[in-house]
Structure 1
Amino acid sequence: MTWLELYGRALAADEAAAGYYNRNVGVVTPDGKVNVRIPLAAADVMDVRLWREEEVLSRIGPYVGRVPELRHVSDEPRFQVHHFIEGQVLDSFSPRGSAVPDNVLSDVVALMDQLVRIPQEKAPQVPDHWPNSGDSSGFGRLLAGLTRDVHATYRDEYREAFAELGIPADPLAVVEPRWDSLTSRPFAVLHADLHRKNMIVADDTTWFLDWELALWGDPMYEIGIHFHKMDYPEDQRAAVFERWRELLPARYTVGPVDDLDLYVAHERIKSAIVDTVRYSKQLAAATRSQRDFLIGRLARKLNTARRLWDSPPDLTPERVADILAPWREA
């Protein structure tokens, strides 16, 4: 079977796992099962994108063991082939907000430690405009700049919805002055998308998927966005943070908890904006149960952000559904 034939089988498959940027299809070949990863052409880019995923996988392999093995890359048509990892997606037995097995916590912190030990010259190249290592404030502003761009892109189309949902005209004003206060830390390779759907657990070992959003940046951001997306119970969040500070070299973890809180606050604001747009676009094609799930989840995200904006966190799913009715009925 050629790589193009493999791609054709994946393209025609009915069953696939899709994120925001890629469609993943498991295909059985004479040499074993593989995962064919096909970009979604119509995906709206709402995250900072620095490297191509195959660049990351090829560079981090000698330093990080539990990542997909890259088998093939095609530019035209665009797709990748990874080895298929058998196991359970963490979210399938430990959904967001619930406790995570202790071995997974250890594996997450071990991964973060492995990543900071990759020398910069072994990582993919960063563009000239990228903040220099140690410029944590510049890195934070870079992240916020993308969030500001997303808000500006959809501001006119969603003006009434944003206002009714409580998203301010300048949603980043509450974090903007705080970037100057960030502690300088040396940069490292970051996964930047470590959440329960990107982890597969097999034989008490955790594998880490989806490296398309990997960055070169402040390690405090890695654990901040991880906490935002994992939604750990408070005791586990504290345990992960303690292990992180104990295991990683101190120069990567130095700084007050305020630095962590700032990154988390930014992600909560970004999530309220981005997911209002993403979820609204999914409503028309969603089933009733899917719509209820999306609207309920968005209400929680918006209420979390509203606390940062000093607004009452009193949006109900019913109110969110009414505000997004034009998209639901499209």
Structure 2
Amino acid sequence: MNWLKLYMAARDATDVTAGYYNRNAGVATAGGKVNVRIPLAAADTMDVRLWREEDVLAAVRPYVDYAPELRYASQSPRFQVQSFIEGRLLDGFAPRGSAVPSHVLGDVVTVMNQLTAIPQAKTPPLPRDWPLSGDSAGFGRRLAELTRRIHADHLAEYGEVFDAFGVPADPLGPVGERWETLTPRPFAVLHADLHRKNMIVSAGAVWFLDWELALWGDPAYEMAIHLHKMDYPEPQRDALLRLWSRTLPQESTQGWQPDVQLYLRHERIKSAVVDTIRYSKQLAAADATPAFRDFLVTRLANKLNAALRVWGKSPDMTPQRVRLGLRAWLPHPGR
């Protein structure tokens, strides 16, 4: 297999999908279609990054039934070749906020359970200063540290916007030192990005994509960030939590109720800060259509309202107020 030729074909492809950190191109080969993932060089780091994705895939593959197979990884130039999963993106037929097919709940819990079975000895190496297994408080502080730094680093450029959006001077005030209240739980591998655009339904099963944000951490965080990004209707959210709490090892879910809520409050705060920055850049893109800008503005208003509730403020953010706050990034004021 000429891997460099595959990379060049993917680099020049126009039929691609992209997230915040990678672009993906399906490339046909004699042995079948593959997915070539190329990191986006200009991507801002807005999430805790622990491991290289290719190392994660190698670690989880023996334990997880529905994860892509790593075929090849190159360091220079940076790219991966993964198996191509044929199917329907969950977001394409069950967008955020809507109900998902019932089997999706079971598949999500299954992959979370499978991840708890991976011993630390089988994971990629951890940084020396990474919290030890069971140090849920240290893990929570690690998450909050990045959120605080992102806010501080962008304050000069976005300070007026944050003010207009009701972001407090100390956005993390509501979580503050409450990390010390977290129940110690043994750490597990976490996908940490299980949302509808990373889930492909194929032959009645869910495949889980995009493992670049995987962490070694508290299983309660996996559930919290999943709930935040999926925005399930309440009945499905409750059904998922019941299934999860009785399926995972007891030590992985003990004391979960207040802790999932604490992690959720952090994620809603982080989303308000990070997505204000990310969406402003997307709104300014020359190829952004009016319909896409309207979608972003409405989505950001919803995210800000979720955070305003955490801050004890009235969730009264409207799309018009978002447009006014981000008018410097909009090509036509008031659009």
Query: Per the shorter chain, which TM-score range?
Result: over 0.9
Tell me the equivalent position of 1:240.
240
SS in 1 for 2:127: coil
Q: How does 1:56-95 map to 2 (within 5 A)?
A: 56-95=56-95
Question: Hey, what's the Cα distance between the residues in 2 that align with 1:94 and 1:175?
Answer: 32
Percent identity reads: 63
Q: What TM-score, normalized to structure 2? A: 0.97
Once the two structures are superposed, residues 141-180 of structure 1 have per-residue CA deviations (whole angstroms, 9 ceiling, x without a partner) of: 0000000010011011001000011011100011012111
2:292 paired with 1:290 = yes
Instruction: State the Cα distance separating 1:256 from its structure 2 match.
Output: 4.3
Tell me the equivalent position of 1:314.
316
Tell me the equivalent position of 1:220.
220
SS in 2 for 1:37: strand
Amino acid at match of 1:300: N
Q: In angstroms, what is the RMSD of aligned CA positions?
A: 0.9
Tell me the equivalent position of 1:30.
30
SS in 1 for 2:26: strand
Query: Runs ≥4 in structure 1, deviation > 6 angstroms?
Result: none
Instruction: State the Cα distance separating 1:329 from its structure 2 match.
Output: 2.7
Question: Hey, what's the Cα distance between the residues in 2 that align with 1:177 and 1:258?
Answer: 14
SS in 1 for 2:141: helix
Give unmatched runs, 5+ long, in structure 1.
Answer: none
Question: Hey, what's the Cα distance between the residues in 1 that align with 2:114 and 2:330?
Answer: 44
2:11 paired with 1:11 = yes
Question: Hey, what's the Cα distance between the residues in 1 that align with 2:31 and 2:310?
Answer: 52
Question: Hey, what's the Cα distance between the residues in 2 that align with 1:90 and 1:289?
Answer: 22
Aligned residues: 330
SS in 1 for 2:25: strand
1:329 to 322, 328, 331: 331
2:185 paired with 1:185 = yes
Tell me the equivalent position of 1:263.
263
Tell me the equivalent position of 1:203.
203
Question: Hey, what's the Cα distance between the residues in 2 that align with 1:174 and 1:266?
Answer: 8
SS in 2 for 1:38: strand
Question: Hey, what's the Cα distance between the residues in 2 that align with 1:27 and 1:143?
Answer: 36
SS in 2 for 1:157: helix
SS in 2 for 1:326: coil
Question: Hey, what's the Cα distance between the residues in 1 that align with 2:177 and 2:256?
Answer: 17
Question: Hey, what's the Cα distance between the residues in 2 that align with 1:11 and 1:29?
Answer: 15
Instruction: State the Cα distance separating 1:15 from its structure 2 match.
Output: 1.1
Q: What TM-score, normalized to structure 1? A: 0.99
Amino acid at match of 1:124: P
Instruction: State the Cα distance separating 1:60 from its structure 2 match.
Output: 1.0
Question: Hey, what's the Cα distance between the residues in 1 that align with 2:175 and 2:87?
Answer: 40
Question: Hey, what's the Cα distance between the residues in 2 that align with 1:152 and 1:316?
Answer: 25
Amino acid at match of 1:169: A
Instruction: State the Cα distance separating 1:310 from its structure 2 match.
Output: 1.4
Question: Hey, what's the Cα distance between the residues in 1 that align with 2:197 and 2:256?
Answer: 29
2:304 paired with 1:302 = yes
Amino acid at match of 1:93: F
SS in 2 for 1:166: coil
Question: Hey, what's the Cα distance between the residues in 1 that align with 2:119 and 2:7?
Answer: 34
Once the two structures are superposed, residues 97-125 of structure 1 have per-residue CA deviations (whole angstroms, 9 ceiling, x without a partner) of: 00011111100000000000111101111
Tell me the equivalent position of 1:161.
161
Question: Hey, what's the Cα distance between the residues in 2 that align with 1:53 and 1:44?
Answer: 17
Instruction: State the Cα distance separating 1:319 from its structure 2 match.
Output: 1.0
Question: Hey, what's the Cα distance between the residues in 2 that align with 1:49 and 1:226?
Answer: 17
Question: Hey, what's the Cα distance between the residues in 1 that align with 2:309 and 2:59?
Answer: 41
Q: Is the 8 A contact 2:71 2:83 kept in 1?
A: yes
